Amino acid sequence: MEIHRFEKLWLVASLLLIAGFVATIVYGAVGAGVAMVDNSGGQVAASDPTASSDFRDPGVYQTGDGEYDVYVVARQFSFTPGSGTPIRVPEGSEVTFHIASRDVTHGFNVVGTNLNTMVIPGQVAQLTVEFDDARSYHVACNEYCGAAHHDMTGTIEVVPAEDFDESEVAEA
């Protein structure tokens, strides 16, 4: 088979491109630390997550220096905390969200970011994220959950460290 030298050129270029694609995925996982949401969050009672010993009462808990755990209960049609009172964490902290549903499948999507997980009844969606900038984020449910799904929103407020009120942190 005779292959024109121009064709050889762009065949090689295509293979290099594919190698580049694979390399970026590897870089994301190893270099940038991108992780997937997995089943490591554990299981809870489907109708009452807080009854399980693995899931605390909804709120923000400090687990270490600049490390926080946030327990969120999603239900039709609000996040607790999040919808009524915003989730407040200090700037520069590493926050692990534990999100559980007490009725139907919900979504937890921090709008405009890569934070996005499904919240399945009986399972805890667990994800860790670093909040570097003081700003507020919107949270939206992105799994259709009922009549007022469109109103199921919440707020995360990342406040400057000096403004963070330690009394807002729930007792561990």
Partner 1 sequence: MRDAIADETYSRRGVLRATAGTAAAAALGSAATGSAAGQTDFDGWFTDDAPGGTTDNYDGEVVDRTGEDEVTVTVGADGNGGTFAFEPAAVRISPGTTVTFEWVSDTHNVAVESQPDDAGWEGHDPIENSGFSFSSTFETLGVYKYYCDPHLSVGMKGAIVVAEGGGEQEDAVPAEYGDWFTDDAPGGAVDNYDGETVDRTGEDEVTVTVGADGNGGTFAFDPPALRVSPGTTVTFEWVSDTHNVVVESQPEDAAWEGHEPIENTGFSFSATLDTRGVYKYYCEPHLSVGMKAAIVVGPAPAEDGGGGPAGTTTPFSPLLGTVFAGAVAAAMLLPVLAGYYRRDQPETPEYDDGVEGEPGAGTQEAPVEEPVEELDHDEYDPMGTAALVAVYFLILVAMWVFMYFVEFLGNELTVIG
State the residues that interact with partner 1 by CB under 8 A. Answer: 2, 4-6, 9-10, 13, 17, 20-21, 24, 28, 32-37, 75-78, 84, 96, 102-103, 110, 112-115, 127-133, 137, 146-148, 151-152
Phi, psi of 25 (to 5 degrees): -60, -45
- The minimum distance between CB 131 and partner 1, in angstroms, equals 7
Shortest Å distance, C-beta 123 to partner 1: 16
Closer by beta carbon to partner 1, 139 or else 164: 139
Whichever of 6 and 166 has its CB closer to partner 1, that residue is 6
DSSP string, the chain: ----HHHHHHHHHHHHHHHHHHHHHHIIIIIS------GGG-B--SS-GGGSTTSPSSEEEEEETTEEEEEEEEETTEEETTTSS-EEEETTEEEEEEEEESSS-EEEEETTSS-EEEE-TTB-EEEEEEE-S--EEEEE--S--STTGGG-EEEEEEE-GGG--GGGSPP-
The least CB distance from residue 58 to partner 1, in Å, is 11
In the bound complex, what is the minimum distance in angstroms from residue 158's beta carbon to partner 1?
A: 10
Q: How far is the CB of 157 from partner 1 (least distance, A)?
A: 14
Please give the Cα distance from 63 to 58 (Å, whole number).
15
Whether residue 42 contacts residue 57, with contact meaning beta carbons closer than 8 Å, is answered with: no
